Amino acid sequence: MIKKKMLTKSRTGILLLVLFALAVYFQPYRLGIVTGESMTPTLQNGQLLLIDRDYYKHHPIQRGDIISCCVNGKTLVKRVYALPGEQVIQLHCDNSTGDMIIRPYMIEKVIRSFIEKPTALRIVRIEVESDAVYLLGDSGTRSIDSRDFGPVPQNQIIGKVVNCKIDTDAHILATVML
């Protein structure tokens, strides 16, 4: 009799544990932690994030969104810079400054400044495919982003980082309320 009660309690405990695990797994929200400085000053190393995995099922991706994605087996948090069908102009310098993104109206000015100070310079135009986005980190050339690995297919996007607000100075502050 005692063994039957213990067996029943054990089964009930296992069932509750499985149900809890399934509830957590199918929850649209995930917690994440920022690792690295590529999104500084917006997000800080070690900061806790809330990621909505279902957001893009009901909303289009917007320029400026902060998203979580998987690239080459690594989970990253970056900002959407360019949308499908748009063109990105990348200025590639053969020195340690890294690649820079320039606006189309700046091309002539950039070329003139580099004619005056010769250096190895290459302008690369990147067409963002219809199923991809171009991502940048907020810390400029210190970030590893689409300048390094190219546009990211939308099926690699995990979700949108939520609970970000813009303060009166137009700085983006992550204010995750848990």
| Residue 74 a catalytic site member | no
Q: Which of 38, 68, 143, 146 is catalytic?
A: 38
- Give the pLDDT confidence score for residue 167 in this predicted structure: 39
> Can 38 be counted among the known catalytic residues?
yes
Q: Which residues contact 146 (CB under 8 A, 6 or more apart)?
A: 78, 81, 88, 134, 135, 136, 152
**Cis amide leading into 41 (omega within 30):** yes
Catalytic residue selected from 68, 78, 146, 160: 78
Tell me the pLDDT tens digit for each residue of 114-130. Answer: 666 656 677 788 999 99
pLDDT in tens, 44-87: 898 889 999 999 999 999 999 999 999 999 999 999 999 999 99
- Which pTM value belongs to this model? 0.73
